[in-house]
Every structure is written in C-alpha cells, then in structure tokens.
Amino acid sequence: MSFRKHYDIPIAGGRVLELGARPLVMGILNVTPDSFGDAAPTIDPAAAADAALHMEAEGADLIDVGGESTRPGADPVPADEELARILPVLQRLAGRLCVPISVDTYKAEVARAAIDAGAAIVNDISGLRFDPALAGVVATYGAALVLMHTRGRSKSMYAEAVYADLMADVARELEESVAAATVAGVPIDRIVVDPGVGFAKRASHSYGVLAQLPALAQALDRPLLVGPSRKSFLRDASGMRPAPERDWGTAAAVAAAVLGGAHIVRVHAVAEMAQVVRVAEEIRRHQP
C-alpha cells in the first residue's frame, strides 16, 4: 500500500487544511483568454464565480484561481492585468464559497492582493524561482504555499528537461525551494510540494514522476499535490486529442496519483475526477 502521511496545514484565515485522510480535489478556475485546458475561456467575473460554485457543488475541496496561463510557450502577463482578471472573481466569491481558495500565481504583488480578497493558499508554479519576494508575502499573511518543480520560463522549459536522475533531481530542486521558503519565514508545516507534471518534463519524465510518487513523498516529507489534468504528455499514450478531450487520459493519471499517495489532485473536470479519486482511494485502501 502506498503510504500517505497525514498533515495539518494552517492556511490564511485561521483555518486548517487536513491532508491525508483522503485525497482532496482541487478544481481549476482559469480566468484567462488562453488557457490550454478549457473548451472555452472563462473571463467574465460573474461566469467565473458561478463556475467556482458549481465545482464546489460537484465535489471540489479547493478552488485554484489563476489569471495567467503558464502552459509551455505562453507569454507572461503583467501583474496589473492578472489582478484585473482575478480580483473581481474573488470579490464575488467572498461569503459564498465554503471551500478554501488557492491563487495560482508566482508574483508577490498578485498574491498579496489575492489573500486580502480571500485566498488562503498561494500556488507558485515556479517554486519561488520567478519572484522570491513571494515567500515573504506568504509568511506575513499566514497563507499556505504550494511549491511546484519546474525549470525555466514557459518558452524555454522543454530545453531544460534534461535529468541525470529524474526523481533525485526533482526532489533536490524542490528541497531548494522549500529551504528558500523557510529561510524567508514560511513555516515548514504550511508547505505543500508539487512535482510539476508536464513542466520542464518530456512525456517520459511526467510518466516517470507519476510512477515514482512514493519515493518523492518519502524524500521530502511534505504533502504532495499532483496536477496531470489535460496536459500534453497524455497524448503520447492516448493520441493527438485537443486538451478538452483528454479527460479519459486524465482519469488514468489521477488514479495513478491517488494510488501513489497524492494528497491533492488538481483537475478541470471536477465531477468526473471526484469519482475517479473515490474509486482509486478505495482500491488503495484495500491493498495489502
């Protein structure tokens, strides 16, 4: 049985996120005109807020709100534009959404404003490599912090997908991010790590990460978030389908993540993947 350690993660607002009893489902809310994973963009604040409430009703335990696409090849977005996209959504969700909100950003300025508007977790795809000041904001506001593994910016990440030992390299580089966060004042018990499936990784690397999650959990002793949803690595096994048609492949990857001991899975299709998570977790529980 893949061991999944229990953690209590304090988040902004005085709440505690209990991780380990079962895998949590994080619903993806992209408030961008160019997200790779959505069939249609969700940039209208009212529609985006309704989508978040709908995901909560479908079984999302967390909602991850992002205003900048970080897919491979994407152009960066200025902080003021990112804030103009996400703040109206966060304001509409205040007092309406019961589950915690995560803000998907690597910018300190955006994180500060988002936490002021109700976000409780900061999800940094750069592992503090793009804006180290982000850690100070998280520490000051008492938010939780997700540190993802990647290398390079969106346009150069695949050029840096060269590993001497995949899991050892990923673990070491995540340890560096965790160390940077703690030096900046973020308590270790507020940190979650993400191996970065699809980021600075060829398809074989992403499958390797999914296959070896227990080793990563043991090396880092931090809760794991895994986000395989609709990513391009799935095409190597399931065919050249556009992102919105990759949910069957996503289901297999989500099941593998749960069986590997993931604490949180980040997905687009919440209702469908919540079922996958529940069934995979029952299988995991019945392993000898």
The catalytic residues are 231, 266
Closest by CA to 144, choosing from 193, 89, 109, 200, is 193
What is the C-alpha separation between 170 and 163, in angstroms, rounded?
Answer: 9
Q: Which amino acid is at 203?
A: A
Query: By 3-state DSSP, what share of the chain in percent is helix, strand and coil, each rounded to 5?
Result: 45, 15, 40
Neighbours of 18 (CB within 10 A): 14
- Name the E strands within the chain: 7-10, 16-19, 24-30, 62-66, 101-104, 121-124, 144-148, 191-194, 225-226, 264-267
- Is-contact 67 105, C-beta < 8 A? yes
What is the C-alpha separation between 19 and 10, in angstroms, rounded?
Answer: 11
CA distances (Å), 255 to each of 98, 195, 243, 247, 276, in order? 26, 16, 18, 12, 6
- Is-contact 98 63, C-beta < 8 A? no
CA angle 182, 183, 186 (to 5 degrees): 35
Q: Please state the separation of Cα 110 from the chain's center in Å.
A: 17
Helix 108-116 vs helix 134-141: crossing angle, to nearest 10:
20
